[in-house]
Structure 1
């Protein structure tokens, strides 16, 4: 019996470090080529924590097997530092220095401004307004945005412009219902919008995720490019969550597999837009993927992650499922200096907005 237990422990101690390494390195392979890689990064935080727990166990048992999890963790250091921001002594403030050329950028998945089954939830909509006004971002990018031109319904574009004082905006209008119901991605700005366009990137049933919004802005005499969007979502339903609870994974796995492939294509398209930009570029939005993923590594390859530069902890941006889910990002090219970044905890919101304070290096 003792021999069986010893060999069982040894097998587990070998498999768990290998699982951690797989969750770290498989996301470098496109899910379009090998779809299981799309699942790998989702498991990384769990396998990391388990391997950390193995170390004191083997030390207490006075066995050198602790070297296996330690080695796996060291080899996974890059993924660790993409998952957690560690700046305990950095003053992470969003307050702009007086007389500086600093500016703030906010990205916020607004979940259709509280529209549910074509019925407007006034409390949620008001909460979004209050968050936008409180954030006071110079540049505001919103995904899953809804506005209505019907006189008896909410013209959210005009309301936000008035409440937050934005002079400039651009709206993609990815989907239109009944002539007045508009869905898509919107950018608001206190700085002049020199040009803006909607770049198709697929099709989405939610009206956000069908295009990238690309805009060139004049900020303190310099031209910068902002690209924002929402990459393909799993579009999980109540039935999917119930299937998960009942351990019925086949249908859910197929849906996720299709999404992995589509999102990988969008990530490569977005990386191409970044490479083609003649100006310093800021990319922000809802990537619907974690930092240890093919999506993130493809898009962020040449950019700075604002949260990782100045934040602390997980930086959670999704309010449900798991505390490890950071899927909304602000990424900036190396020409920018990142002064601060944080995810704002907002009650009754599916996504937490991310806001960052930036300036151009001179």
Structure 2
């Protein structure tokens, strides 16, 4: 046996041992993230950073399985077992394939449409002056979409151009009732209204809570037939994801700078959203009516915000959605950060992520709920 052959075996053994050690560490890290999300022993931002990485950990474990199947098949069991545990614990919040419910004569279907419209693009003067076709298309779409209740985040309205006066156009389309995070901005030439609810059904009472200039919640008690439902529309603190800016950097210093900015924004977002979701929970507890929560939560299903909400109200995507339900229309793209949660008393007919509508950096979502006609 030549020295060269023995040296080759030694090198191969070294790298296999190193890879197995890294695989063990990856498995432990993934199990730690499962425990943090399933038990919520702490809500510190560092734990949130670990939890949000679960899909990446799954991908790495999948790569380990493929590589071990080509080298040492018996060692693929470790990552395989870790992935099976992940599917059992969190599979329903990752991928579902539900059949649509059945509408009977005893119920009124209530579709709630929710869309972060990214200011319709009207937050730039050029779009307002240039009479952009894109702006008209997204406003036309939101006005014409067939849903009796419409919830918006980053809502903007401009009275300087009739086509861009979204508040007026929605009211003329039959949405006579509304509630806003910044109602004082609805009649100014160019108003950043923020969070907004429009309804063809009467709003008997409403309220708002401002978290920051653009973030907050608006709630409305909406009378549907003989029943009343509280709809809470939320826009929580931004995730701060700017993957595109990182990838566009040509120099290492630029990559480091943008990466540091992303991590700082993520940290700040985790801290703020944890405080904000507590306010959402308070409005749920205080409601005397069944509650539906919708909006841009800016957090994935592997987060403190999602887990806390899920422990109070069932998630509509999990109960009636289909597919992955990704709702973010920018890099990294494969995330779901727009959610709806519903009271257990309210049955769900259907839930849809409208991922063929790409006017904004978010896709719209829509859930159809069954309201009992006989309830008083």
Alignment TM-score, normalising by the size of structure 1:
0.86
Distance, in Å, in 1 between the alignment partners of 2:283 and 2:106 is 33
Pair 1:336-2:346 in alignment:
yes
Matches within 5 A, 1:36-51: 36-51=46-61
1:39-78 deviations in Å (ceiling 9; x for gaps): 2233222221332343354345454322321332233232
SS across alignment from 1:275 = helix
* 1:14 shift after superposition: 0.9
Pair 1:131-2:141 in alignment:
yes
* 1:351 shift after superposition: 0.9
In structure 1, what is the equivalent of residue 90 of structure 2?
Answer: 79
Distance, in Å, in 2 between the alignment partners of 1:14 and 1:284 is 40
Matches within 5 A, 1:78-97: 78-87=89-98, 90-91=99-100
In structure 1, what is the equivalent of residue 119 of structure 2?
Answer: 112
In structure 1, what is the equivalent of residue 190 of structure 2?
Answer: 181
* 1:10 shift after superposition: 1.1
In structure 2, what is the equivalent of residue 262 of structure 1?
Answer: 272
Residues 160 and 166, structure 1, Cα contact 8 Å, conserved in 2:
yes
1:209-262 deviations in Å (ceiling 9; x for gaps): 0x2101101012101101011000145678677569724332332222122111
Of 161, 178, 181, the residue aligned with 1:172 is 181
**Alpha-carbon spacing, 1:264–1:30, altered in 2? closer, same or farther (3 Å):** farther
Residues 17 and 69, structure 1, Cα contact 8 Å, conserved in 2:
yes
Pair 1:223-2:228 in alignment:
yes
**Alpha-carbon spacing, 1:307–1:116, altered in 2? closer, same or farther (3 Å):** same
Residues 43 and 304, structure 2, Cα contact 8 Å, conserved in 1:
no
1:102-133 deviations in Å (ceiling 9; x for gaps): 11011100111221423426323322233324
**Alpha-carbon spacing, 1:127–1:99, altered in 2? closer, same or farther (3 Å):** farther
Instruction: Choose between structure 1 and 2: higher helix proportion.
Output: 2
> Which runs of 5 or more residues in structure 2 are unaligned?
1-10
* 1:304 shift after superposition: 1.7
**Alpha-carbon spacing, 1:21–1:100, altered in 2? closer, same or farther (3 Å):** same
Greater radius of gyration (CA): 2
Pair 1:305-2:315 in alignment:
yes
SS across alignment from 1:289 = coil
Matches within 5 A, 1:306-325: 306-325=316-335
Pair 1:190-2:200 in alignment:
yes
Alignment TM-score, normalising by the size of structure 2:
0.83
> Which runs of 5 or more residues in structure 1 are unaligned?
none
What RMSD, in angstroms, separates the aligned Cα atoms of the two structures? Answer: 3.0
In structure 2, what is the equivalent of residue 155 of structure 1?
Answer: 165
In structure 1, what is the equivalent of residue 6 of structure 2?
Answer: none
